[in-house]
A and B are shown apart, each in its own frame.
Chain A
Amino acid sequence: MSVSQERKRLHPHKFTMWVALASIVMMFAGLTSAYIVKKANSQWIEFELPTVFWYSTLTIILSSVTMHLSIKSFKAREMSRYRALLGLTTLLGIAFVVLQFIGFGKIEEGGMPLFGYDSNPSASFVGIIFGLHGLHVLGGVIALIILFLRAYIGNRKVYSSTGIEIMGTYWHFVDLLWVYLFIFLNWM
């Protein structure tokens, strides 16, 4: 086996995505470490995360499943199934972001403003960490919409699954990241 064959195994763009994910992990590792440091201070007010976040957890896990199935259909060249599942994933992604906003509202209703002078860092952290994660999901949703439109409008047939696989990797990643963040903020 020649060296060049060996190297072709992982597409450079796929690889780039993996390194980018490591980078995003570091960003959230920074924030959650800051959370731990800050929590040790006085004036930290504990509060429970509203139950809405359980629903958003369910939604995003479901969207990972549909994402997975849509890639499978793409590889099997079942294009209408692929498009339907991709669309469903997009909708679930949007639903997740909406649910997050509802969750933020519930926290504020519970007397814990996220930002502003009467806010407590415990709530501000939730706002920033979940908010930043939400932005990453939103970025994914935009990419999904582009893929979706391309599947409909594009008159050029696409056979390479690299693009959609990279999308899948990213999507499962934001899902996993959410599960980590949710566990972290619920039980830390």
Chain B
Amino acid sequence: MIGQALDRVDGPFKVTGRATYAYEHWEAGQPLYGSVVGATIGRGRIARIDTHRAGRSPGVHRVLTSHDLPAQGTPDPSLPFEFWRAHPVMSGPDVDHYGEAVALVVAATVEQARAAADLVDVEYTVEPGSFDFAAGLEQAYVPAGPIYGIVPVATAVGDFEAGFGSSPVTIDERYTTPYELSQPMEPHACLAVPDGEDLIVYVSTQIVDAARASMASTLRMDPERIHVVAPYVGGGFGSKLRIHAEAILAAFAARALRRPVKIALTRQQIFQLTGVRPTSDQRVRLGAQRDGRLVAIAHEATMATNRHWEYIEPTAATTRSLYAAPNRLTSHRLMPLDVLRGEDVRAPGEAPGLLAVESAMDELAVELGMDPVELRIRNEPSVDPERGVPFSERRLVGCLREGARRFGWERRVATPASVRDGQWLIGHGMAAGIRGHFQAPTTARVRLAADGRAVVETDMTDIGTGTYTILTQVAADGLGLAPDRVRVELGRSEYPVGAGSGGSWGAANSSTAVHRACLALREKLVATACADTRSVLHGSDPARATFADGRVSIEGVSEALSEIVARNHPNGVEADGATVAMTDDPNYRDYSIHSYGAHFVEVAVDADTAEIRLRRMLGVFSAGRALNSRTARSQLIGGMIWGAGAALEEEAVVDARSGAFVTRDLANYLVPVHADIPEIDAVVLDGYDGKANVLGAKGLGELGICGAGAAVANAVFNATGVRVRDFPITLEKVMPGLPPLVS
């Protein structure tokens, strides 16, 4: 059952419109609609705010500014993950970034709210802001860290400078990556419903518990009085790890007006009111022997951060467990700017980090005249090169070899710009991928009813990834039931608490918790039956019980689970299961636990215009045991496409004069469309990582991205001989290196 390509159990609900998203709940009746007014300056203060005209506009119930909001909680830095911390919004006259919320208009219809929002008249005292990342890199500082409370800001092993200085072959290059945003399909939205002293919050979030905690501490409410509902979430990619202005302001407005209030951010506002992957400037230095063995490796990342809300993307941490080398160095520095807050965007760290380091490895292969697959295999470490501990299950070489074989890598022509297909220059590139696997405390409950059906409950979310389906499989497997006898209930704060969807940990955390709950339930059931004189299993050895087809069997004698439950627990019987924090799990101390990938790409570059079009993409991955081969493949392919977009298209451009994102809709902020994506395949190696968890499963929601973009970049180099180190690789960066037109 586990691993099979079970159809999505929520699929029929989604295609028939019965899956209800945050903005669509109607249980509480007609709501009011909120529209957020954003600041039109990048830094300064609100000098005067006039809401009279807006307040008199048709349908308007209330206009809220900072003057109307009660005092808000402040973030508690002792919480390791900021998603659980308070998120004060509109708390005073200061403007810390362009688009920050300065007022909320609440009206009877969404059109009335938006029309009135345009009438809020704000006068600002503008202060000179810093918006230009590249212009002031020398002002970057070293943050205290640790990142996420656990990842060190800087590491060093051996003597990097000496090792690098004595290396016969060296690469020393800088790579830059742009601002990027998650931009999930479903906008950030919240419907807040007052219910006596309580508040019901329908919100699009990745972590229900974080949403509740953040909202409680911002609103200074008892968390028990906040009920979060998020059964369906239309994508998050990091941008819904924490709640934002839409949730906080809907809650304040609902409480002030004693009415349900809902707010959805517009696409343009998502560019201003959520979070951004910071732009980065990365220096990678590689020192190698002539046989390709690395002597020294350094990855130093400088990234933008909002000056008031420090965010460190663990970009350079990417290299820490990737290749062997005796002398190593990684570091992060931050450049304080007055731009949108940094937040996790899918594959934080690896996405920009591997663009740099895997491009550099390709440059080293060229310099050495060595096959890039072979170069990576030659630098395969036997233990984690920084921590010195063994790897749990490391199959990077397996991914590389299998990928090379399937792709036909041996037929690649190594000399750049030497393969042509009519108008097109053809190139092949590859890159390796790695992604840390994390574990966080998660609980789940499984209840078996007298009719033999099981219900799984956890506050875990399904953000489109397939949680409903895999937990159905895990519970069916755990109790020996057919999957249609299992119902999974997710995304409510009443359910057992978990760490939600994020960091690719959700599937493994929640599956392990459900599996353990099933084991506990089995024990209860068997113990009950073996002690029950009315049961055919009375007196049998509980240790020999097996579960299948809705029955428990001991040495040839079996009884239906429903009979045991009906006889002994007419109201059903339940059990809980849990996973612990990785910091409390010795495996995560004693082993280096990661997932791996190898990417192979064929591109065609127009010989005149430098338009880059993908022709083939293949990824081979190792992530322990896949819980559902189809949802796993969907995640990986989605990640690979994301990587291709990062290599070629995605870029949020800041206007250095105002601090505003100029590319603030999906017509100007480009992501791949169908026509961009060619024949694409993701292969998952069979595996089992028993050190990660009892199911042997590791995260793969972000793994597909890791290395995909670098493989595209390396293919572009192979096609054209032009190395672009400033991502994304748009045609104007390649065209100057193309040969002149001849015929």
Same complex = no
Chain B interface residues toward A at CB < 8 A: none
Chain A interface residues toward B at CB < 8 A: none
